[in-house]
Structure 1
Amino acid sequence: MAGRGGASAAAPLLEKTAAAAESGGGCCYVDGCPGCAVDRHKAANPGIPYGNFIYVWIVTLCTALPISSLFPFLYFMIRDLNVAKRTEDIGFYAGFVGASFMFGRCLTSTVWGIAADRVGRKPVVVFGISSVVVFNTLFGLSVNYWMAIATRFLLGALNGLLGPIKAYAIEVCRPEHEALALSLVSTAWGIGLIIGPALGGYLALPAENFPTVFSPDSIFGRFPYFLPCLCTSIFAAVVLISCIWMPETLHKHKVHENRSRNIEALEARLIDSNEKVEESGSLDSKKSLFRNWPLMSSIIVYCVFSFHDMAYTEVFSLWAESDKKYGGLSLSSEDVGQVLAVTGASLLVYQLFLYPSINKVLGPIKSSRVAAILCIPILFAYPYMTYLSEPGLSIVLNIASVIKNNLGVSIFFCYLFFLAALKFIWF
């Protein structure tokens, strides 16, 4: 019993599995498959994949920047396009421009998800970033209202990056790093939704705000909203070039019957009897995702909060730039950009240093509930800011914006953590 056979039997199963995988005998990896190459790299490197996480960060940021970068100057853009007959109608026309992006995304997001599963994550990411470079630039060069709507619609319809990049973030790391991967997506997304409007606010109307640098006869004088769009497109072009070295994670080989039997045999030896019973008991319920109430409830919460967050992002800029006689604050696009820049900086500090401690004390669900409750009085307080004057208005507005957006991050994190937990329970 203490001989060679006993020593072999006493060897850890995971070591034998890894050795078999490396030698090819276990049929765990297929040569030439990009997904297997990523899995092999994960097995050999237990640390955090910083290089791949950089791709997750910059691609998510590239996706988020053009979504809300137009809102600080959209009010003035609609005014200059002369489509609104009355000043009070500017918000009405601006709403269609803002909604056209999400309408296009709503129509095609499922298609892009299917394409990412069949063709690969990398081609979808590359195509989506290319659409940002092209159509975001064309939006800044819009000469009429319908061109603005068309370019924003195509930008949303052809930019299906968010779903595939979330899948990519999970696939490039080991299970113990998946929470970090999802937090990177949400962090880059939240910061992008704040930095984008900040860029739009600071860089719009450059010939008026920076007359010594930009001439009224230059392209930036003739197209006063082109500069912020161009900066976002240049960043997207840099990201597009860097994606040449981005590894693909989709498995592009057929799972043969003998390979499936080998994997099942390994799983049978790795999973104890109790886990096998639980897994077999869940097979029937996998047939219908719509009957998975925890999953559906998290999706519903995400939809409701996304609606709330995007509505707030668009309405805030329009309200802040509207004249006080219409209930606004009469701020300039530069003032709005400054508020959003301060908010973006606070988001970075909150997510890196404050939220981890809050999550440890309250947990993700309770912290999201508290955040949702606190959002209500803050939102009710916004209309009353019209009665304030400087410098009190700037102080109160910055504080309210910082608190509101950081509370939103807490709610969004809860959704991501919940889905990460459901991945192990359900999938």
Structure 2
Amino acid sequence: MAEEEQQEALLKKHYYENCPGCKVKKIKESQTGLPIRELTWISTVVICATLPISSLFPFLYFMIRDFHIAEREDDIGYYAGYLGCSFMFGRALTSVFWGIVADRYGRKPVIIMGTISVVIFNTLFGLSVNFWMAIAMRFLLGSLNGILGPIKAYACEMFREEYQALGISTVVTAWGIGLIIGPALGGYLAQPAEKFPSIFSKESVFGRFPYFLPCLAISLFALVVSVVASFWLPETLHMHHVSSELDESCEDAETAPLESGVKCKTQKVGGKASKKSLVCNWPLMSSIIPYCVFSLHEVAYVEIFSLWAVSPRQYGGLSFTTEDVGTVLSISGAGLLVFQMWLYPYLDGLLGPVVVARVGGVLGKYASNWVEQ
């Protein structure tokens, strides 16, 4: 009993009244059952970050064509590649920066900033009048949208330990939902004056800017998400300094026998704690490198397939419409969603995550070769 009282008293000293992370920690301890509301919040934020990425590809070819920057029709893919990669190029340059900001100032400011950037720059992208304006808007959208990294840390901090795996799985599932909704919005809402002449006239803003409607729909959704995040999304980062009294208590706990079960971790501000270089951390890098390769395959498939599908048959394409491309990409996203929700948990429990990743890499390689043939 004395050990339990000492442990409980020590743990209570970790809570600070004005610390948002401590408040969330207290709430987690009192939670019972599946955290449906928190899962919904995280899913909505991830979908908001995914929609601008995937909605572009069904109409990318036609947008470049309407800019009249390509001298020949078979040069459209060359310029489409620059426009398609501008978003990811901006993300690659600033992702580490937004991670540092999230660790220092909180996850919530990064999430709100990312959703506001979608509202502003995705809307301006739909109103682009030339190729260079579109490039600039997509680059700024990618540079200022640093949601996907901090939201994974947020998912771990928001849930109890038994639900943390579910939180990470929710992020991937919401990504799959975004890959379903995004291409559908881009495919069915682009060029509305041509598809729905009885509703949208060619003289209206949607007739003069044929790719504005899907961007506007996504921006309005992001506006709602930013309002929800501003008022109802709690901060999970611990913002307090460790007192000397707590340091001494933790040192006593660390010298106590392991059977007591007391664990304490302190972070001394301004100390010279040795940190192993991330580049030399091989377990970490061995996870990041395959993730980069799989991400390359995913994005390359979406962009290359979209350009190939809408290209004229005389150039080896399929002459698909924006609706056709949106339908195919939505089906692909639905496949990812089904696998992530039902098949992956079973395979992960049966084979383990490493074996599943290896099998997925091999199958992806053979599938790519089959498509090329």
Relative to the length of structure 2, the TM-score reads 0.91
Letter in structure 2 aligned against 1:83 = I
Given the alignment, which residue of 293, 299, 320 partners 2:282? Answer: 293
Q: CA contact under 8 A between 1:42 and 1:173: conserved in structure 2?
A: yes
Question: 2:83 aligns to what?
Answer: 97
Unpaired stretches in structure 2, ≥5 consecutive residues: 264-272
Question: In the aligned structure 2, how far is the partner of 1:304 from the partner of 1:237?
Answer: 33
Q: Map residues 359-398 of structure 1 onto 2, 5 A cutoff.
A: 359-383=348-372
Given the alignment, which residue of 50, 56, 78 partners 1:64? Answer: 50
Letter in structure 2 aligned against 1:309 = E
Q: Deviations over 1:170-214 (max 9, x none)?
A: 111122221111111111123213321221111111111122222
Question: 1:30 aligns to what?
Answer: 16
Question: In the aligned structure 1, how far is the partner of 2:254 from the partner of 2:49?
Answer: 38
Q: Map residues 22-421 of structure 1 onto 2, 5 A cutoff.
A: 26-243=12-229, 244-266=231-253, 269=256, 271-272=258-259, 287-383=276-372
Question: 2:269 aligns to what?
Answer: none
Runs of at least 4 residues off by over 3 Å? 15-21, 263-276
Check 1:269–1:208 CA distance in 2 against 1; reply closer, same or farther (3 A cut). Answer: farther
> What is the CA distance between 1:250 and its match in structure 2?
1.2
Q: CA contact under 8 A between 1:65 and 1:192: conserved in structure 2?
A: yes
Q: Deviations over 1:138-178 (max 9, x none)?
A: 00000011110010010011111111111111111122221
Percent sequence identity is 58
Letter in structure 2 aligned against 1:347 = L
Question: 1:405 aligns to what?
Answer: none
Question: In the aligned structure 2, how far is the partner of 1:134 from the partner of 1:270?
Answer: 56
Letter in structure 2 aligned against 1:216 = K
Unpaired stretches in structure 1, ≥5 consecutive residues: 1-7, 277-283, 385-427
Question: In the aligned structure 2, how far is the partner of 1:263 from the partner of 1:190?
Answer: 43
Check 1:217–1:268 CA distance in 2 against 1; reply closer, same or farther (3 A cut). Answer: farther
What is the DSSP-based 3-state SS (H/G/I as helix, E as strand, rest coil) of the residue aligned with 2:245?
Answer: helix
Deviates more, 1:45-54 or 1:245-254: 45-54
Q: CA contact under 8 A between 2:42 and 2:151: conserved in structure 1?
A: yes
Q: CA contact under 8 A between 2:64 and 2:80: conserved in structure 1?
A: yes
Question: 1:400 aligns to what?
Answer: none
Question: In the aligned structure 2, how far is the partner of 1:164 from the partner of 1:173?
Answer: 15
Q: Map residues 9-24 of structure 1 onto 2, 5 A cutoff.
A: 9=2, 13=4, 17-18=7-8, 21=11
Q: CA contact under 8 A between 1:68 and 1:314: conserved in structure 2?
A: no
Letter in structure 1 aligned against 2:35 = P
Check 1:148–1:115 CA distance in 2 against 1; reply closer, same or farther (3 A cut). Answer: same
Q: CA contact under 8 A between 1:327 and 1:383: conserved in structure 2?
A: no
> What is the CA distance between 1:319 and its match in structure 2?
0.9
Question: In the aligned structure 1, how far is the partner of 2:84 from the partner of 2:128?
Answer: 14
Matched positions, count: 363
> What is the CA distance between 1:50 and its match in structure 2?
2.5
What is the DSSP-based 3-state SS (H/G/I as helix, E as strand, rest coil) of the residue aligned with 1:217?
Answer: coil
Relative to the length of structure 1, the TM-score reads 0.80
Higher RCO, Cα 8 Å, sep 6+: 2
Check 1:383–1:296 CA distance in 2 against 1; reply closer, same or farther (3 A cut). Answer: closer
Q: Deviations over 1:369-419 (max 9, x none)?
A: 1221112232223345xxxxxxxxxxxxxxxxxxxxxxxxxxxxxxxxxxx
> What is the CA distance between 1:18 and its match in structure 2?
4.0
Q: Deviations over 1:110-138 (max 9, x none)?
A: 11111111111111110110000000000
Letter in structure 2 aligned against 1:378 = A
Question: In the aligned structure 2, how far is the partner of 1:264 from the partner of 1:316?
Answer: 58
What is the DSSP-based 3-state SS (H/G/I as helix, E as strand, rest coil) of the residue aligned with 2:201?
Answer: coil
What is the DSSP-based 3-state SS (H/G/I as helix, E as strand, rest coil) of the residue aligned with 1:263?
Answer: helix
Question: In the aligned structure 1, how far is the partner of 2:235 from the partner of 2:153?
Answer: 11
Q: CA contact under 8 A between 1:103 and 1:156: conserved in structure 2?
A: yes
> What is the CA distance between 1:64 and its match in structure 2?
0.9
Q: CA contact under 8 A between 2:49 and 2:148: conserved in structure 1?
A: yes
Check 1:274–1:122 CA distance in 2 against 1; reply closer, same or farther (3 A cut). Answer: closer
Question: In the aligned structure 1, how far is the partner of 2:146 from the partner of 2:97?
Answer: 8
> What is the CA distance between 1:43 and its match in structure 2?
2.0
Question: 2:266 aligns to what?
Answer: none
Question: In the aligned structure 2, how far is the partner of 1:270 from the partner of 1:143?
Answer: 70
